[in-house]
Structure 1
Amino acid sequence: MRAFTCPHCSALVFFENSVCLTCATAIGYSRAEGAFVEAAGRTRCANRSLATCNWFAEDDGPLCGCCALTRTRPRDDDAEGLEAFALTEAAKRRLVYQLDDLGLPVVGRDVDPEGGLAFDLLSSANEPVVTGHANGVVTLDLAEGDAGHRERLRIQLAEPYRTLLGHLRHETGHWYWEVLVDRPGRGEDFRAVFGDERADYGEALQRHYDSNPPANWGDTFVSTYATAHPWEDWAETFAHYLHIRDTSQTAAAFGVVVNGPQNVQVRPDEGLVSEPQEASSDFAGIVAAWLPLTYALNAVNRSMGTTDLYPFVLAPAVLDKLRFVHDLVTADRAYLPAEPAEPTAVAG
């Protein structure tokens, strides 16, 4: 994420701020301008209190463009559900900001009723909820907003990383498979890299949960869950690409560079040097800056007695998949509406 400043005094403000902590000016995020602006004369999103939203409303409604993508939320009398809802919406604002920044289409059901993007944020405290995606609708169990619940599942499923933002990136990635791969007719190119997504999804997922991950899975997949089915491989890789781009942009915005230890090589004739860029279309350059940055950040985390910030290894085959995602994300694209179709299997 880029660094933001107060429009009145130029002090640093964070993405969650609604008031400048230096000069007390009321501010908010303008999606149209991609910047924080003074709140005077602007209409706050109607979810300002309910979801701590600091964005401004769209011209045609009471909600901001991010909150308007949510079509289902907890009831007003569900205090715990609403607390988790606010946390989830905060993560979703980060997601939508990044999608906008990358120039990816973000099209809601108001524009594309058959296949636009929408979010059902539901609490499993009241009913069974399966986190997943189907035909543009992302369903998320708000129990993921509870750190204890999320950590228990992370350990149970042997996942190195599990966050609300990660869930949103993954599930939204399923929608972008439809938008970037399926509708434009890039299926054969996709299958050459990820495999044939026409394999039965339900059977593949059942096999995944009934057995151990394939031997040497890390040679070709970014995570064990990616081994379940090509759809999951895409969604995991897409989410991972967003992790890399967002973290690299934040590091660049704050001037974080790596220049050492001296006389240490990452590869032959390549020192431990990283200077991330806020925006780049050069995939090789993104990766070259990313890897040394992760080594340094992991070392800092370990010095604090915590786990690695980045507990992943990117094998050459995984880098090829990430490059495939990068090429689609950075290509010129026109949004193609979905054609009416029978609901597909829910992708997790």
Structure 2
Amino acid sequence: MKIFRCDHCGQALFFENVRCLHCGSDLAFLPDRLALCAVEPVPDGVPGIWQRKTGRASLARARYRLCHNHGTWQACNFAVPEHDPNPLCVSCRQTRVLPDLSVPDNQQRWYRIELAKRRLFFTLARLGLVRTDPPPGERDGPVYEFLADLPGQKVLTGHCNGLITLNVAEADDAERVKRRVELHEPYRTLLGHLRHESGHYYWDRLIQEGGRVAAFREVFGDESVDYAQALAAHYARGGTLPNWQEQHVSAYATAHPWEDWAETWAHYLHMVDLLETAASYGTRVVVPGNGEDIVDEVDSPFEPQTDFDHLVEQWVPVTLLVNSLNRSLGQEDAYPFALSAGALRKLRFVHDVIHEPAAAARPQAGQPVSAPACVTEGVSPP
């Protein structure tokens, strides 16, 4: 995530901020500008209407309301254009079912999930995959349900026909670590979950509907094999395959081509977000070597449309730095992965699909047809 600056005083701001600690300005994220901005009430005194806190009249004309979830729950810092009748911002309106907020701790769980979802929204918007200005009142992108287990009714995280379901227990650190250990996963986070599930959503949009099934199968394999049987076989063999690293970004990616795509998709979003963060700080990494140091400077400003090979050249030194910093603090590696040539081939496919011109994505005559992906994650090994 990039670092923003207060457009009133210039102080560095973080994506989650609602007030500038230097000048005291109120802040709101303006999705139509993909920017965190200082805002102030409009000068004519219309209650609940805000504008950018800037002397440039051309920028000050746009008017906004704060998202309903900001005023009611202090759970969002996105703004809504004044003309949009929907009380929720473009991210919050994607969520159609909330957990019971009267249950202790559910409000905090929901806040953490929505925060991760807004970060995902930002990355998807940067990649041109979700609209920041849908028609008034409407929403774009996946639909979400955040649910809690009930007696005799376990909520399973998954995706089906555009709906992403997430068990709110994943917002509890202890529960998430427990599941990570049970499922032999080196990495399990809320943001990682949402990135992974968005991969299933965009498989439907970009692969199945985009006429790319044949090209997908050449890289990831035949997704028409029975998903339930493949997942059962995955857990029966202990959740891994010998030498899985040669072709996959994670052990779970070996379960089924749909999971391979979703894991690779999530990994690509990791790359884009981390490199944009590094670019915001003007990161320059010098990796000591035998005789000649490896020097890498992350492009600033960072552009996700960058040539894929160049992305990888910047990625490797940055992940070495991140892991080294974590180890210095006694923490586990933030990036517990090693990318093989086979995994990089799949990541390149994701990159090319995202940035391919729209005209090239039209289905071709005779293109094999595949059903949309309906998947369930987080099932404990039998």
Whether the 8 Å contact between 1:51 and 1:87 is mirrored in structure 2 is: no
Over 3 Å counting, the alpha-carbon distance change for 1:150 and 1:190 in structure 2 is same
Contact 2:208 2:372 (C-alpha < 8 Å) held by counterparts = no
Residue of structure 2 in register with 1:228 after alignment: 255
Change (3 A) 1:203 1:106: farther
Shift of the alpha carbon at 1:167?
Answer: 0.1
Among candidates 87, 102, 108, match of residue 83 of structure 1: 108
Q: Match for residue 162 of structure 2?
A: 136
Are residues 1:285 and 2:285 paired? no
| Residue in structure 2 matched with residue 45 of structure 1 by the alignment | 67
1:182 has 2:216 as partner: no
1:260 CA displacement: 3.0
- Contact 1:106 1:117 survives alignment (8 Å): no
Q: Name the SS for the 1:47 alignment partner.
A: helix
- Separation in 2, partners of 1:313, 1:306: 18
The range that moved more, 47-56 or 88-97, is 47-56
- Higher mean Cα deviation, 159-168 or 44-53? 44-53
| Equivalent residue runs for 1:266-345 within 5 Å | 271-277=293-299, 278-280=302-304, 281-333=306-358, 345=374
Shift of 1:147: 0.2
CA distance in 2, matches of 1:196, 1:106: 31
Shift of 1:342: 8.9
1:201 and 2:232 aligned: no
Tell which deviates more after alignment, 4-13 or 71-80.
71-80
- How far apart are 1:304 and its partner, in Å? 1.2
Check the 8 A contact 2:147/2:155 in 1, yes or no.
Answer: yes
Between the aligned residues of both structures, percent identity stands at: 42
Q: CA deviation at 1:111?
A: 6.0
> How far did residue 344 of structure 1 move?
5.9
> Matched residues in 2 for 1:64 and 1:96: separation?
11
Deviation at 1:343, TM superposition (A): 8.0
1:147 and 1:26, CA in 2 relative to 1: closer, same or farther beyond 3 A?
same
The aligned length equals 337
Q: For 1:95-143, what per-residue CA distance to the aligned partner results, in whole angstroms no more than 9, with x for missing partners?
A: 0011001111359998699xx6200011125641010000110000000
Distance 1:112 1:98, change over 3 A: closer
TM-score, L = length of structure 1: 0.91
Cα deviation, 1:40-87, whole Å, max 9, x if unaligned, reads: 223110111425200012423100000000010012422322221110
Q: Does the Cα contact within 8 Å between 2:208 and 2:371 map onto a contact in 1? A: no
SS of residue matched to 2:326: helix
Tell me: CA distance 1:343–1:197, structure 2 relative to 1, closer, same or farther (3 Å).
Answer: closer
State the AA in 2 paired with 1:128: K
1:145 counterpart letter in structure 2? A
Q: Which residue of 2 aligns with 1:2?
A: 2
Question: CA–CA distance in 2 between the matches of 1:156 and 1:283?
Answer: 35
Task: Give the match for residue 47 of structure 2.
Answer: none
**Partner residue in 1 for 2:54:** none
Q: Distance between the aligned counterparts of 2:356 and 2:170, measured in 1?
A: 33
Deviates more, 1:312-321 or 1:99-108: 99-108
Structure 1 residues 10 and 344: CA distance shift in structure 2, 3 A: closer
Q: How much has 1:317 moved relative to structure 2?
A: 0.4
- Give the TM-score normalised by the residue count of structure 2: 0.83
Q: 1:153 matched to which residue of 2?
A: 179
Amino acid at match of 2:127: L
Cα distance in 2 for residues equivalent to 1:344 and 1:167: 16
Counterpart of 2:58 in structure 1 is none
Q: Secondary structure at the match of 1:43?
A: strand
Alpha-carbon deviations, 1:143-188, whole Å to 9, x = none?
0000000011111111111000000000011001011111011101
Q: Is the contact made by 1:85 and 1:142 (CA closer than 8 Å) also made in structure 2?
A: yes
Partner residue in 2 for 1:268? none
Instruction: Work out whether residues 171 and 235 of structure 1, in 8 Å CA contact, stay in contact via their aligned partners in 2.
Output: yes
Distance 1:323-1:78 versus aligned 2 partners, 3 A rule: same
Structure 2 counterparts to residues 248-259 of structure 1, below 5 A: 248-259=275-286
RMSD between aligned residues: 2.3
Contact 1:69/1:117, CA 8 A, preserved across alignment: yes
Unaligned runs of at least 5 residues, structure 1: 266-270
**Partner amino acid for 2:271?**
I
Unaligned ranges ≥5, structure 2: 41-49, 51-63, 363-369, 378-382
Kept after mapping to 1: 8 A contact 2:249/2:343: yes
- Cα deviation per residue 1:197-227 (whole Å; 9 max; x = unaligned)? 0000111011111113111011111111100
Q: Which moved more, 1:273-282 or 1:232-241?
A: 273-282
**SS of the residue 2:234 aligns to:** helix
CA contact (8 A) 2:278 2:298 kept: yes
Does the CA contact (< 8 Å) of 1:51 and 1:90 recur in 2? no
Maintained 8 Å contact 1:51/1:85: no
- In 1, distance between residues paired with 2:19 and 2:149? 34
